[in-house]
Structure 1
Amino acid sequence: MPKHSRKNRDADNAARADLIRALPPIDACIRAAESNPALAGFSRTYLKVMVQRAQAEIRAAILAGRDTLPRARDALVDAVVIAAARAVAAHEPVLAPVVNATGVVLHTNLGRALLAESAIEAVEMAARSAVNLEYDLETGARGDRDSIVEDEICALTGAEAATVVNNNAAAVVLALNSLAEGREVIVSRGEMIEIGGSFRLPDVMSKSGAILREVGTTNRTHPNDYAGAIGPDTALLLKVHPSNYRVVGFTSEVTLEDLVEIGRARGIDVMEDLGAGALIDLTEFGIPREPIVRDRIAAGAAVVTFSGDKLLGGPQAGVIVGRRAALDRIKRNPLKRALRCDKLTLAALSATMRLYLRSKDLGRELPTLRFLGRSVSEIASIAPRAREIVAERLGPGFVVEIVDTSSQVGSGAMPVEELKSVALRVTHPDKSANAIAAMFRRTRIIGRIADDSFILDLRTIDDPAVFAVKLETG
């Protein structure tokens, strides 16, 4: 490298270092910010965060050679305060509303089920007011928070008792720890599932303190496999609904009814993890049938666990139902307190359960069932208006087409089932599908990429006006 080039570079680096050292102290900037009308109403702690953020942006600009800073100290303080004010204006909640146009109705990364209006109202009431969470209004004594939802859950499932924790993984851990800690739980090798986030059933069982005893093979398990594995240390027979995969071809599994018969003959209870957990027959909404919780209780399962925010369409929760003797042991477990739900979850879940009991048109009132059960013709009816809005916002060069596509249930439920749908396909001769997806994400519209094209699936879109946003196409 020529000497003069090295000297110029060294001089530039020295000048940048001098500018960074000249930045005023945080406290001086905070004092100035407190006098700024745009910032005066904020706490000192918050102003400190914003001033630090502003200085970090200024330092980055200096290092990149993009600074246009004044050199006078007072002017530098003003520059930092102005940058802090911009940071405040741009500071939005991390959790933000987005448009789900992915075609995945129960999208785990986007929050899974949307709540019914009655559940939203119940959450708002519980958030705004003190409530009788653990208070008996008749006696004035301490109450049981399970009572908020237990009667409705039992009425819907036919169970003798029920309890609720913060998700289904917690429900499985709690039930196994309560009923089988230090003892064996027999489960088919073909049901040793792994779901999103590397959540593996064997790991869950290990954390519960239960001892895993696998039987059968990946694709075939027979009643004799269970019967032959039962010994003096066996506490439970476990059945797991493989909600996020299917084994097809040369397969065999033991039904719950057969498993219950095997258990009864040896005095051992059966527990089933249903995962998604349907409360009703979904075929009436045009959705493939899933195991119904009530049927599993009627078949003799002592304990059944399932999620609240999947096919049930409520808040995130893990529901445990079954025989009273088993549920009493689960409720007495000290771990139950660590996994219990708060008032907002219980308010939403109770409202959702009441909707199942009361509603004459559940498919209209419960968003999950409404989106899953939408016909192709209904979705297609909004496609022309959606295409018009998106094409207008994108401008020249973009091609927006109405295409047939397939949606998914999501969250591990019905993994091989595809729901026929209608979508907008957005392409551009000079922009990749990834670039177009990123452009839409900046407006909080989340689509998907399929066959090297960006897709906006309309299954979960009620009003095409959600696409009427300013799209930065540059």
Structure 2
Amino acid sequence: MDGTEIPALRRPPAIARLLQAPAAQALVAAHGRPLVVEALRAAAAEFRARAGAGAAEAEILGAAAQWLARHTRGLRPVLNLTGTVLHTNLGRAPLPPEALWAMTEAAGAADLELDLEAGRRGERDSHLEALLCHLTGAEAALAVNNNAAAVLLLLRALASRREVVVSRGELVEIGGAFRIPDIMHEAGCRLREVGTTNRTHAQDYAEAIGPRTALLMKVHRSNYIIEGFTAEVAEEELATLAHRHSMPMAVDLGSGSLHDLARWGLPQEPTVRAAITAGADLVTFSGDKLLGGPQAGLVVGRAALIAKLRRHPLKRALRLDKTAIAALVAVLRLQADPDRLAQRLPVLRLLLRPQAEIASLAERLRPGLAAVLQGAAEVAVTTCESQIGSGARPADLLPSAALALSPRRGSTADALAAALRRLPVPVLGRVTHGSVLLDLRCLEDPASFESQLPLLPGLLAG
């Protein structure tokens, strides 16, 4: 508009007339005419719903611009200062540069299902199978789009209409209401619970085995712990029992660490190789947790069983696309070089970040943040604890440091957190005890944080 005041309109102007305005033409250039027309119609409908309230053309154009922003923004990068390294809501593992480059390279035409040497159709899992077998000691491997899909495929291919024996203490529910019993139901299996919540013995499994039993399954309790008077059956013993009855033993490992994290002084997490060595016939795990790659569900184990999974019709519905496979292969290459993994894999680098380094960064950032928040909040450096996240070692916390924003003069922690989320690159912390904590463990680019700080006072005022 030209800046002159436009009288309120008693009824919405015609869409054709609105489209002639310079502001509308700018929206058309950015989004295309069909979307802008829909946005203008939505804004005009909102105007009519006001029961006769007046509105200027500028108001309708502004509402249309907001509608377009809401409906076309897609994914936005954010700064993860929550203290949870593998945050499910934020996409879990940050990808290394090697994976990003591999995805770009594979975005065009690629030999996804082509055997270049033989000149005939190939298998997409072949690009990652050798690396997975090398890293886990398995005979064969395949990949699907997440670990829930891997478990579903395993159960559907090997145990449909039959029984699967699982300890009652391992019937977990993880984020998004994903429950092992529900997955078994969807796979057409009958769940056979054994033992109690806190104690399950080998005899419990043995007594449950019958003519309808398809396999024994062990589920890693990745998102909670049971302490005190407890007992569980070791993987070696469970595998021996399963093989004695000529059936497979499967392990759902969840977080899927390929290396012993104790090597770097982190809390120990079960490894895929250890499960295979213990006798597991199939192991399922995630690609975007401790492995540090893209979203994926991986299955490794005996070649004959992997072949059954690969032939099942459900495999096609759950398969990975070419960019995810490319990223996964790049990450597996990094995993094959554990001596340099701590420097090259972002998730491991963030988990290993020393508290002193994080505290030093907090001290450097505090004055700038305090200056822009004066009157709204006090800013202090405080110690805190980070967590791995995504169900990995929930009871083990990592010493960290944070900027604590304590509201003053009528402000609230929720208002501070909302203003931080409205920054061009949203900043996500956590609200605790009436303050906003910005855990800096995952902040590797401080400039991306500092450059936005001058915008905070305006966002708080609005």
Hey, what's the Cα distance between the residues in 1 that align with 2:393 and 2:202? 26
Contact 2:113 2:122 in 1 (8 A): yes
Q: Which runs of 5+ in 1 are unaligned?
A: 1-17, 70-75
Equivalences for residues 40-51 of structure 1 within 5 A = 40=29, 42-51=31-40
Residue number in structure 2 paired with 1:391:
370
| Residue 96 (str. 1) matches residue 76 (str. 2) | yes
Residue number in structure 1 paired with 2:28:
39
Residue number in structure 2 paired with 1:274:
253
Hey, what's the Cα distance between the residues in 2 that align with 1:356 and 1:406? 27
Match of 2:104 among 92, 107, 124: 124
Deviation at 1:381, TM superposition (A): 1.8
| RMSD between superposed Cα atoms in Å | 2.3
* Deviation sequence 1:44-92 (CA, Å, 0-9, x none): 21221332344356557x6595x553xxxxxx5x775576467668876
Deviation at 1:41, TM superposition (A): 6.4
Match of 2:432 among 438, 445, 450: 450
> Which protein has the larger Cα radius of gyration, Structure 1 or Structure 2?
1
Moved more, 51-60 or 178-187: 51-60
* Deviation sequence 1:337-386 (CA, Å, 0-9, x none): 00001111111101100111146411111111011111111211211112
Task: Find the residue that maps to 1:405 and give its secondary structure.
Answer: strand
Residue number in structure 2 paired with 1:256:
235
Equivalences for residues 3-402 of structure 1 within 5 A = 19=9, 22-30=11-19, 36=25, 39-40=28-29, 42-56=31-45, 58-59=47-48, 67=54, 69=56, 76=57, 80=60, 84=64, 93-127=73-107, 129-358=108-337, 360-402=339-381
Hey, what's the Cα distance between the residues in 2 that align with 1:41 and 1:353? 40
Contact 2:12 2:55 in 1 (8 A): no
Deviation at 1:181, TM superposition (A): 0.8
Q: What one-letter code is carried by the residue in structure 2 that aligns with 1:116?
A: P
Deviation at 1:453, TM superposition (A): 1.4
Q: What one-letter code is carried by the residue in structure 1 that aligns with 2:34?
A: T
Task: Find the residue that maps to 2:35 and give its secondary structure.
Answer: helix
Deviation at 1:196, TM superposition (A): 1.1
Hey, what's the Cα distance between the residues in 2 that align with 1:461 and 1:234? 50
| Residue 422 (str. 1) matches residue 409 (str. 2) | no
Q: What one-letter code is carried by the residue in structure 1 that aligns with 2:79?
A: V
**Aligned CA distance change for structure 1 residues 380 and 332 (closer, same or farther; 3 Å):** same
Q: Which runs of 5+ in 2 are unaligned?
A: 1-7
- Kindly tell me the number of residue pairs found equivalent between the two proteins: 446
Q: What one-letter code is carried by the residue in structure 2 that aligns with 1:24?
A: P
Hey, what's the Cα distance between the residues in 2 that align with 1:85 and 1:264? 64
Identity of aligned residues (%): 49
TM-score (structure 1 length as normaliser): 0.89
| Residue 459 (str. 1) matches residue 459 (str. 2) | no
Q: What one-letter code is carried by the residue in structure 1 that aligns with 2:102?
A: A
Contact 2:139 2:300 in 1 (8 A): yes
Q: What one-letter code is carried by the residue in structure 2 that aligns with 1:51?
A: L
Q: What one-letter code is carried by the residue in structure 1 that aligns with 2:25?
A: N
